[in-house]
Chains A and B, each alone.
Chain A
Amino acid sequence: NAGVTQTPKFQVLKTGQSMTLQCAQDMNHNSMYWYRQDPGMGLRLIYYSASEGTTDKGEVPNGYNVSRLNKREFSLRLESAAPSQTSVYFCASSVDLKSYGYTFGSGTRLTVV
């Protein structure tokens, strides 16, 4: 019962380094999302993918890029990490954009020093 799997679970980066957060779902969902969670601010949408082959910006896309590699996988890339990107990142998926609920991964805790 994997659901949504995120790797890594924890990461420390130095300012300016790059990295890719991986996300995969095994529920045959069409839509996938990347959120960041910051204290007192809830979850904010970074990017989303309505279906395989499409991606769109969310509320806070600056400093990030995404790739919808196939139907299962949706990766988030930080090209040049900044301390402001210290956060917990969640990947989520849903049957489609109009679905009533999301399935979330367990998160990646990223610290940029």
Chain B
Amino acid sequence: AQSVAQPEDQVNVAEGNPLTVKCTYSVSGNPYLFWYVQYPNRGLQFLLKYITGDNLVKGSYGFEAEFNKSQTSFHLKKPSALVSDSALYFCAVRDTGGFKTIFGAGTRLFVKA
């Protein structure tokens, strides 16, 4: 069965510092991996995806994520955090042979000025 874990409920970082939001996954085959962001009172917005190819994928708003097959991880990163990055971030996974997308519980990112 597919699953995705986001081990941190909240991540705190100072503005200008690098940020990492962690995600690990479990699928029976090869994964498709996604990150979404949710701002207050809004729906989820797609940030980036890993399908195949380069392990480092770049997405919206300066975010990137690194796929690590051996560690079954897909951590979200940004070199320099902004206060406006404060939001709820969801990692999601789908088996390449299926279509159901499983979402993690979410990690709240708080960027302090």
Contact A45 B100 (CB under 8 A): yes
Does B63 lie at the interface of the complex (its beta carbon under 8 Å from any beta carbon of A)?
Answer: no
A104 to B101, CA, bound (A): 13
With A100-B49, A101-B34 as known contacts, state yes or no: A106 contacts B42, CB within 8 Å. yes
A12 to chain B, nearest CB (A): 17
Task: Give complex CA distance A43, B100 in Å.
Answer: 12
Number of residues from A at the complex interface, CB < 8 A: 21
Which residues B10-25 have CB closer than 8 A to chain A?
none
Tell me, in angstroms, the Cα distance from A32 to B76 when the chains sit together.
Answer: 27
Tell whether, in the assembled complex, residue B43 and residue A43 are in contact, meaning their CB atoms are under 8 Å apart: no
The residues of A that contact B51 with a CB separation of less than 8 Å are: 100
Listed in ascending order, the chain A residues whose CB lies under 8 Å from chain B are 4, 35, 40-45, 58, 90, 92, 97-98, 100-107
What residues of chain B have their CB less than 8 Å away from a CB belonging to chain A? Answer: 4, 9, 32, 34, 36, 41-46, 49, 51, 90, 99-101, 103-106
In the A-B complex, list the 5 residue pairs whose CB atoms are closest, starting with the nearest. A104-B43, A97-B99, A43-B103, A42-B103, A42-B105
